[in-house]
Structure 1
Amino acid sequence: MTKSNSRESQFPIDAMFLDRWSPRAFTGEVISEEQLLTILDAAHWAPSSANQQPWRFIYALKGSEHFETLLGLLVEANQEWAKNASALLFVVSRGFSGEFSEGKKSYTHSFDAGTAWGYFAMQARLSGFYAHGMGGIKHDEIMKTFEIPEGYRVEAGIAFGRLADKSVLSERNQAREFPSQRKPLSEVAFNGKFIAD
């Protein structure tokens, strides 16, 4: 059992897994491209089926010419708080395999891209930053804006930066600004059987 960040695990896991969470309050400080690329470097070392590495990251740093473009591709509720992130990113995965699979569809491309996102989130936390993954993005508009070809899938968005006091948020988001808990492990892990919700 591990306790950290107002969370408690059932088994003795490393506290870094409890310390990682998805805040909405960011300082809005400008960071260097090297700082972001360091986090992305960790992400691109994630495991992937047949080493296909299907993940792709589109990013923009606050203060750059591209930041407002990425911000506008989030749903309005996320734009409200993500405008204070130091960087915004979109995760895209390639849905077909390369030479090892003779160009066949990749069944695990989303799974692998999700693993890369997980590595990104953990390296962010280890480096003094936070990352908030978002499903609330304009998937079709992202495909058009960046001329992403068929065979790729826009998976999610990410807001990235340093943690700010929740007072920078609207009242609605202040009420939501805390590390979320998890279901009991027994509700998601089953020994030799499957149990639907």
Structure 2
Amino acid sequence: MSELSAHRPAESSAPLHELIRDRWSPRVLDPKAEITDDQLRALFEAARWAASWGNTQPARYLVGRRGDETFERIYATLTRGNKSWAGAAGALVLGIAVTRNEDGEPMPYAEYGLGLATQNLVLQAVAEGLVTHQMAGFSPDAAKAVFELPEGMEPLVAIAIGHFGDGEGVDRSLIDRDTKPRQRKPLAELVFGSAWGTPAL
């Protein structure tokens, strides 16, 4: 599987820090490689130190390692397509936003806070030599039920964490997805200046 490579740097119009340049979301994972306690701790410490509105820290996580009960319960909430590859992850994580405070009032920017924390987590994973794949393809209702989540806890993302695999025994469609060119819209379509639609850069 020589076409597969864990190193697929982003092509950018300006130099990027290697953690950003090298982050991508593979599906071909090593089903035998394990994640250490130190690596997991580093990922969640990175998440803990993310910015949040008023330092409210709305991000919460459930984590299971391959073979344990929590992993299997998270795996059971995934869509069929994600189940086809995510079982090879070293760990599965559910990212949960605390959407109400202790008084039952709405927590401003909770989803944004979870997003910031999770981005810290995935970038720390790059630093640890790991790969991650964030998934919208799971059932929040099933997650709430199986983990008996309290009111105001909203599961928003599932995350597979592991080591890049060699592709042996992996479905060809997954290899094709992990080898196709990485693409993003140009800055001219994203960043505007004097008027909406007028490129700033």
TM-score of Structure 1 vs Structure 2, range by shorter chain = 0.7 to 0.9
For the 8 Å contact 1:167–1:174, the answer to whether it is kept is: no
2:27 paired residue number? 24
1:77 paired residue number? 81
1:187 paired residue number? 189
- Label 1:168 to 1:109 Cα distance change in 2 as closer, same or farther (>3 A): farther
What is the letter of the counterpart of residue 51 of structure 2?
P
For the 8 Å contact 2:53–2:108, the answer to whether it is kept is: no
2:3 paired residue number? none
2:136 paired residue number? 135
TM-score under structure 1 length normalisation: 0.88
Structure 1 residue 41: deviation in Å? 1.0
What is the letter of the counterpart of residue 185 of structure 2?
K
Structure 1 residue 38: deviation in Å? 1.8
For the 8 Å contact 1:40–1:120, the answer to whether it is kept is: yes
- Label 1:11 to 1:32 Cα distance change in 2 as closer, same or farther (>3 A): closer
Cα distance between partner residues in 1 of 2:176 and 2:128: 27
For the 8 Å contact 1:24–1:82, the answer to whether it is kept is: yes
2:13 paired residue number? 10
Tell me how large the CA RMSD over aligned residues is.
Answer: 1.9
SS at 1:115 equivalent? helix
SS at 1:166 equivalent? coil
Uncovered stretches (5+) of structure 2, i.e. residues with no partner: 1-6
Q: How many residues align?
A: 189
What is the letter of the counterpart of residue 110 of structure 2?
H
Uncovered stretches (5+) of structure 1, i.e. residues with no partner: none
SS at 1:36 equivalent? helix
For the 8 Å contact 1:91–1:156, the answer to whether it is kept is: yes
Structure 1 residue 105: deviation in Å? 1.4
Structure 1 residue 6: deviation in Å? 4.7
SS at 1:79 equivalent? helix
SS at 2:44 equivalent? helix
What is the letter of the counterpart of residue 80 of structure 1?
S
TM-score under structure 2 length normalisation: 0.86
Q: 1:88-147 CA deviation, whole Å, 9 max, x = no partner?
A: 00000011245xxx7531231111100111001100001100110000011110011111
SS at 1:23 equivalent? coil
What is the letter of the counterpart of residue 113 of structure 2?
D
Structure 1 residue 177: deviation in Å? 0.6
Q: 1:8-55 CA deviation, whole Å, 9 max, x = no partner?
A: 111222232121000011112233333212211111110000000000
